[in-house]
Structure 1
């Protein structure tokens, strides 16, 4: 899809396996949680349970005690309290929560009111004129979702006799306002652990702090908390996830007539999801703040009159439709201006227009980011002043970028991904140049390509109702906790455009096993031609969902993107597509060491007559050396010490040389006869190998010793591939020697290591038998998995284990204590470790290959 980068997330498979076992969940679900940074068992359990009891003590928030003390005094004495909120959904819901709680607790509920500034007339934040109008009418002003940058206003409030408490979640500046209390988890010195609460989340924690002495938790307000949290695009992790998860449950059965009326006009059913809050309810509440009177939304959330609720909801619905029309017009004008001036070819975009409605420019900025994928600021000009709203992309801190241009701005605020600003018209050009320069310094070309992160590759048969139900535990998904995106490949059996305007693409995906699934790509009808081009082998990135139609439930792929899958289906391509691999420990053992252990060591060979050797030992960039000295057209053999290293190096080289990707392959002793037969049919020019299990009949232009041989027999066997004319290139170095020594110690554990393996596997063996796969999984947790093959051979020899195919059985312990030094295989293994350690050090010596050839440097 365009220049979209598909990035398969790498996963700590051992950690995922640990979570899966501890929590009784599938490996895939565990992998998805690790991908989201949830790596320890306690965090994972908290993520899954979403227990409200896990919320931190609200009094950990700096100044909470001072805020509660002042509010309690006001409540007791029936003082006039004004809740001053922002005009977006976060501010509206925060105001509704706090006003409701204060009215419930006050001895004089009528003394509790709210004030929401008008976006067009007053703009964002705490305003001196508003405070002055409240002076003499109110004794206490509590801000929600604003105020952290209002230094001057806090001073004025004190002069005018107003006590001021600020609650805000935006990034504080170097100085915080001199208010009676400032509640913001991002403040320096604030020990409250959750730093990403929305404004409504902070208001709710304040309400809970007030309720503690009364035995009230105020959970009945979680429906409003969830709405504001999702709408404000804070990460749905940690406490935000808990608040939204439990708030969605409340919202589905809400008794608030305002929310009921809003859900009805927005066509939201009983099964409310986070996406409904962000894309259906939120925009309608926001419409009031963007176009007209934001207090309408707060009145809707507070009313207990069904008739009033229906009237207000209908009005907000109409406002939202108007907002959509205005947004479409301004977006079209902005796109025209950007393309005409080729602003999209810069690393950042600043676009301005006279008379653009300031209430929708934030949404327009989001649309422009979707289209051009650049940090974008949209500015509405009026009377020589510009009101701007910006949106960012991954890797660019918008707030920090604006801070570098602050000398050109009247004011600004926000956070990493979104911000607002005010700029004088005569400084607009200078600001635009400065902002683009900051973007250019910060962002690379690669960062300016949109990315689609894939959580896992799956087979089509794995996409089932059971999978969808299991992944539902990740809900609520959204910002910070995206819906899991999976990847699958197959052929397109049929396709058609659907929808009222034919804007959606529907098709059937079928894999090589004849498994089929229906797929729907919303708004991607333009991809039909591309889909046909890739019809035989298509890669699909999707979110698994359930489609319910006329009482029938079917699994459906909700398509995020489509691309051409790898056109080749050979063992190399299949292996590369399965990365990251979980390989048996035997894959890390040199075939020459394994042969020597079993008494089958290869014979030495006569290596005379080679075409010379090139000594590049110690080269810091081996891949660069390969590019420099190996001709792309000539056959090259690259020798490594183990099957695992052959696969990893093959992958590394295919990434490093993308144009030669299909010409680079691997071969090792664990390949099947069918895979070796496939190799003969492939046009491989650079082959990575262990030198064992290798088909005869190949002639090489050069043979590269990527790793040091582990003994003389290993060396001679490798040199045999040079034949009569191939050049031998030595490219290993001290790091490779250390790595080989460490790997040998892992593959051939000593007495202590064997004892640990024996002890660790006894308990799982007593619970239903032990497979080698299970054994390796257990040992992987302590880094001993590579030693399983050697342990199995030694324990079988001395009668501790019975090993048959892939199963291990513990035998009764002998009456007489066994002596490992009586085991032939153990002694051979320890001897190999000692001899290889000495030989590996010799590999770095100048004369380690002395056949009369002079090194070429």
Structure 2
């Protein structure tokens, strides 16, 4: 691990902000690192206000999208809400379809089959629309590169409205409206919305044009927060406002489907959504069909919702078993091919389940920490999921290999592609070449970015209360990470958990100072560093631990090393 400490903020700025907010300098420092230097900026950060959302009509083509939907309703046309099969896509479809159905009955939903149709808009989906007299398709979380398919739909008398957030290609599809804040000709002030976020801006625009109170949109924010969490978009700007209020909805009045997935938990945070709700919603599209997720997220009857959630739980169990098996097979393949010295990981088996190759790619990236692709057979072609390491743009790397690729799309850290099997070895060679030429070698060692050095005596209940208000956490606003030096185990240090994988201890920094419980997941092998009162430095985040009804602040270790 590379430990990187962020530069210490200017002391005068720090002092002034601490005085204005009546907080200690450790809190003020964390705010300055987030470019918050005034009382007003701090107020907006700690109390995100829906009034600060941007005017949806600033997004290019928004007026055209709203007008076309109103025209469809006025003419009693059939509307199809179409979306990708992951959390962002299914949440988007649930949001848009339930909003439209509240005011107009002729609305159907469509999620493509991951195996039969693949990612994005499909000819089969367009044919379904044509066969069912549907004249308007609203595509969410996909469509920005589907030039031929949008043209095919037009020939059949079907209009498209595209709500996407992926990077556009050279040309934009000839749709009635293409809403994508990443369009180079779009001046919308915030371009990091997820697909569901773009869908939300569309329903906000419809509401605003009709002069309706925008408070009617609050019940949809649990879906937007779920999509923001699962799609790992920055939790800054508009995303922070939407996630903050969406998490309030999840805690106070969530829709039945999310409530069934999250169970009896109290004080649900965005991490719960990422690790509990999102994998289960994704499992529907991975193992069966994404429509199951849409059905759950739009279901209003509690008994039916529980039944649907149980089905999805079974899909998720199957997914866990499958990805564990394939991960082991992929690791053996890498070792047997003696490819540990490469700067990239590219593996393939025609028998691997297409629904879990993205998860397997993530697990391999955790193990070898380099740009990774996992391929499997998909019809007469190969399909792959790509994952990257922090700081390296895998999408750009794929651009450099496009001569060997049939189709690709995605983000900086995650992408998907298809290619002909005959091009697999050529692609593998080219991908290694492109990465070797462009990656900074230090990016191949995992980095822990440390916000600040902290004394244990600074960790007070008030400090932790304020720290919790920095949430919801995510890219662009990660949970603060601290460094404390010269810690000593008070004598309780031991390995716990299966195979002693985890490290548990209690630490002090000085004899008279406070003692804190510590947990270090997957750090059991570092027990020797703390034995016999050896002094050590620790990097950690703060967490709460409840035991026998008593809640205390604990240190959640990220790494330790012998004190310098």
Tell me the CA shift for residue 341 of structure 1. 2.2
2:198 matches 1:202: yes
Task: Give the RMSD, CA atoms, in angstroms.
Answer: 1.6
Match of 2:307 in 1: 311
2:164 matches 1:165: no
Once the two structures are superposed, what CA deviation does each residue of 1:387-439 show, in whole Å capped at 9, x if it has no partner? 10011112211111101111100100001011000011110111011111111
Once the two structures are superposed, what CA deviation does each residue of 1:704-743 show, in whole Å capped at 9, x if it has no partner? xxxxxxxxxxxxxxxxxxxxxxxxxxxxxxxxxxxxxxxx
Using a 3 Å threshold, how does the CA distance of structure 1 residues 330 and 75 change in structure 2: closer, same or farther?
same
Match of 2:249 in 1: 250
| Residues 593-632 of structure 1: pairs in structure 2 closer than 5 A | none
Q: Which has the higher mean CA deviation after the structures are superposed, 489-498 or 136-145?
A: 489-498
Tell me the CA shift for residue 18 of structure 1. 3.7
| SS of residue paired to 1:241 | helix
Match of 1:5 in 2: 2
| SS of residue paired to 1:563 | strand
Within 2, Cα distance between the matches of 1:283 and 1:41? 39
| Residues 452-467 of structure 1: pairs in structure 2 closer than 5 A | 452-467=448-463
Aligned residues of 1:11 and 1:34 also touching (Cα < 8 A): no
Match of 2:373 in 1: 377
Match of 2:505 in 1: 507
Using a 3 Å threshold, how does the CA distance of structure 1 residues 55 and 424 change in structure 2: closer, same or farther?
same
2:125 matches 1:130: yes
| SS of residue paired to 1:354 | coil
Within 1, Cα distance between the matches of 2:389 and 2:422? 28
Within 1, Cα distance between the matches of 2:40 and 2:352? 50
Q: Which has the higher mean CA deviation after the structures are superposed, 339-348 or 291-300?
A: 339-348
Once the two structures are superposed, what CA deviation does each residue of 1:272-309 show, in whole Å capped at 9, x if it has no partner? 10001101000000000111111000000111122211
Once the two structures are superposed, what CA deviation does each residue of 1:172-209 show, in whole Å capped at 9, x if it has no partner? 11111110000000111212111000000010110111
Aligned residues of 1:75 and 1:102 also touching (Cα < 8 A): no
Match of 1:113 in 2: 108
2:174 matches 1:174: no
2:555 matches 1:557: yes
Match of 2:480 in 1: 484
| Residues 386-785 of structure 1: pairs in structure 2 closer than 5 A | 386-489=382-485, 490-494=487-491, 495-499=493-497, 502-515=500-513, 516-532=515-531, 535-566=533-564
Name which one, 1 or 2, has greater alpha-carbon Rg: 1
Aligned residues of 2:488 and 2:530 also touching (Cα < 8 A): no
Number of residue pairs aligned between Structure 1 and Structure 2: 556
| Residues 29-44 of structure 1: pairs in structure 2 closer than 5 A | 29-38=27-36, 42-44=40-42
Tell me the CA shift for residue 41 of structure 1. 5.6
Within 1, Cα distance between the matches of 2:21 and 2:69? 44
Aligned residues of 1:468 and 1:546 also touching (Cα < 8 A): no
Tell me the CA shift for residue 239 of structure 1. 0.8
- State the TM-score, normalized to the length of structure 2: 0.95
Tell me the CA shift for residue 63 of structure 1. 0.2
Within 2, Cα distance between the matches of 1:382 and 1:255? 37
Within 2, Cα distance between the matches of 1:87 and 1:27? 46
2:269 matches 1:273: yes
Within 2, Cα distance between the matches of 1:338 and 1:15? 51
2:52 matches 1:60: no
Tell me the CA shift for residue 519 of structure 1. 0.5
| Residues 6-21 of structure 1: pairs in structure 2 closer than 5 A | 6-13=3-10, 14-21=12-19
Within 1, Cα distance between the matches of 2:37 and 2:373? 37
| SS of residue paired to 2:27 | helix
Aligned residues of 2:391 and 2:443 also touching (Cα < 8 A): yes
Using a 3 Å threshold, how does the CA distance of structure 1 residues 225 and 352 change in structure 2: closer, same or farther?
same
Within 2, Cα distance between the matches of 1:292 and 1:246? 31
Tell me the CA shift for residue 142 of structure 1. 0.2
Aligned residues of 1:75 and 1:105 also touching (Cα < 8 A): no
Using a 3 Å threshold, how does the CA distance of structure 1 residues 372 and 514 change in structure 2: closer, same or farther?
farther
Within 1, Cα distance between the matches of 2:429 and 2:28? 46
| SS of residue paired to 2:306 | helix
Within 1, Cα distance between the matches of 2:475 and 2:223? 18
Within 1, Cα distance between the matches of 2:37 and 2:330? 43
Aligned residues of 1:274 and 1:476 also touching (Cα < 8 A): yes
Using a 3 Å threshold, how does the CA distance of structure 1 residues 78 and 270 change in structure 2: closer, same or farther?
farther
Match of 1:291 in 2: 287
Match of 1:75 in 2: 73
Q: Which has the higher mean CA deviation after the structures are superposed, 384-393 or 43-52?
A: 43-52
Within 2, Cα distance between the matches of 1:384 and 1:305? 42
Using a 3 Å threshold, how does the CA distance of structure 1 residues 255 and 507 change in structure 2: closer, same or farther?
closer
Within 1, Cα distance between the matches of 2:38 and 2:173? 39
2:236 matches 1:237: yes
Find the partner of 1:331 among 311, 324, 327.
327
Tell me the CA shift for residue 26 of structure 1. 2.9
Higher relative contact order (CA 8 A, sep 6+): 2
Aligned residues of 1:236 and 1:480 also touching (Cα < 8 A): yes
Q: Which runs of 5+ in 2 are unaligned?
A: none
Aligned residues of 2:115 and 2:378 also touching (Cα < 8 A): no
Within 2, Cα distance between the matches of 1:294 and 1:524? 37
| SS of residue paired to 1:560 | strand
Within 2, Cα distance between the matches of 1:458 and 1:62? 46
Within 1, Cα distance between the matches of 2:14 and 2:336? 50
Within 2, Cα distance between the matches of 1:175 and 1:21? 52
Within 2, Cα distance between the matches of 1:299 and 1:7? 45
Q: Which has the higher mean CA deviation after the structures are superposed, 501-510 or 331-340?
A: 501-510
Find the partner of 1:94 among 92, 95, 119.
92
Find the partner of 2:182 among 178, 183, 186.
186
- State the TM-score, normalized to the length of structure 1: 0.63
Using a 3 Å threshold, how does the CA distance of structure 1 residues 38 and 195 change in structure 2: closer, same or farther?
farther
Within 2, Cα distance between the matches of 1:33 and 1:356? 46
Aligned residues of 2:529 and 2:536 also touching (Cα < 8 A): no
Using a 3 Å threshold, how does the CA distance of structure 1 residues 384 and 156 change in structure 2: closer, same or farther?
closer
Within 2, Cα distance between the matches of 1:236 and 1:373? 24
Within 2, Cα distance between the matches of 1:283 and 1:30? 36
Aligned residues of 2:48 and 2:244 also touching (Cα < 8 A): yes
Within 2, Cα distance between the matches of 1:376 and 1:531? 35
Within 1, Cα distance between the matches of 2:382 and 2:358? 13
Tell me the CA shift for residue 6 of structure 1. 0.6
Once the two structures are superposed, what CA deviation does each residue of 1:455-494 show, in whole Å capped at 9, x if it has no partner? 1111111122222111111101122221101111211222
Once the two structures are superposed, what CA deviation does each residue of 1:209-244 show, in whole Å capped at 9, x if it has no partner? 111114132111111110111111101111111111
Aligned residues of 1:83 and 1:95 also touching (Cα < 8 A): yes
Within 1, Cα distance between the matches of 2:550 and 2:54? 44
Aligned residues of 2:82 and 2:93 also touching (Cα < 8 A): yes
